[in-house]
Structure 1
């Protein structure tokens, strides 16, 4: 850890700040059954990807289908329940009290996040920055989004801690050269333990001191 630089905590959103992944799985599994019935667990397959990535990979040239999916997704997101992952609010407040800079770094777009702000207007006050899909060209598993997170706080990867749940997000954090804390909210501990530095079920028993201990290892 570089003691001359700020410590940055970079949080993915879905499955890390808000417990939404099970809801998205329902929606995207339905999309998979309709358009790609031969692909099993479609909802799990696309986790951590932006809508553009999903379309480029699975719906390229299918303009009508993309429009239909986008319309359905917009409606679905407007009706979603946004509930905090246990302990995350308290943890963020503790980090800020100790001078840690906090950013939400998400593959979600601004339109989706506006739904979140309507449900939780206090969210913006819990963090210093919110970086959305519109702000970086390459999405997870590329490290660009997390490197941008370090850049906006004028810090370095070795002082940055990523909190992620998806395989693409965990890979992005590692590719950025950052310490990665995996949350077993979406995938099991066994499935992600070799892709991050430590696994936690939520933030109920994770503190600022734990974060500093990891950075000092």
Structure 2
């Protein structure tokens, strides 16, 4: 099997993939949409996978005071959030580690948010060799910069990398990086992402290493 010939790489997005937090974020951004973009009913869906900086630039540009206010409100919100795991992900990560897979966390969250997640889950430092946050990149997903940086930091080629993503922007970023992409149907329905990814999972429950390795058998 391929995994015995060379090491594979798993690059995990955080929210909606490792952590089951997307529902909480929906509440925050739905409220912002009602306040500042009342004519845009799906505002909270449009910003999925974007860095906060990109959201503020694209949807609140030109009003620095408002941008700073929303940043402060988001920071307070993230401080109080809960950070539960997506079902099965911890076990799957441990299985990958047992098979020698290189693992990184690649998120659109900034360092401040990551500090809250690490406080809730100090074990992250044992799970992930590298943590790529929004503060390490200049371009937001769907640009592939974050995934390419993760591969570079791990000193691995893109053709052995698999991205685990839930948002359209993240899935597109993985595709743009020319990596395998597994889509988590935690944020978008499976039928919406089916044609964009190599495999779709409802969560990680029962997902095996052999199924992960088999991704490289198909073009």
Structure 2 CA distance for partners of 1:2 and 1:152, relative to 1, 3 Å: farther
Instruction: Tell whether 2:185 aligns with 1:196.
Output: no
Q: Which residue of 2 aligns with 1:127?
A: 128
- Root-mean-square deviation (Å): 1.3
CA contact (8 A) 2:130 2:154 kept: no
5+ residue gaps, structure 1, are none
Match of 1:28 in 2: 29
Structure 2 counterpart of 1:10:
11
Matches within 5 A, 1:51-70: 51-70=52-71
Determine the structure 1 residue equivalent to 2:106.
105
Q: Name the TM-score, length of structure 1 as normaliser.
A: 0.97
Distance 1:121 1:65, change over 3 A: same
Post-superposition offset of 1:216: 2.4
- Secondary structure at 1:102 match in 2: strand
- Deviation of 1:6 (Å): 2.9
Structure 2: how far apart are the matches of 1:208 and 1:157? 19
CA contact (8 A) 2:103 2:130 kept: yes
Once the two structures are superposed, residues 92-150 of structure 1 have per-residue CA deviations (whole angstroms, 9 ceiling, x without a partner) of 01101110000000000000010111111112211111110111111200111111111
Paired position in structure 2 for 1:149: 150
Against the structure 1 CA distance between its residues 208 and 123, is the aligned structure 2 distance closer, same or farther, given a 3 Å change threshold?
same
**Number of aligned positions between the proteins:** 217
TM-score if structure 2 supplies the norm length? 0.96
The aligned counterpart of 1:187 is: 188
Q: Provide the rounded CA distance (Å) in 2 between the counterparts of 1:215 and 1:139.
A: 27
Following the alignment from structure 2 to structure 1, what is the Cα–Cα distance between the partners of residues 216 and 148?
A: 17
Please, which runs of 5 or more residues in structure 2 have no aligned partner?
none
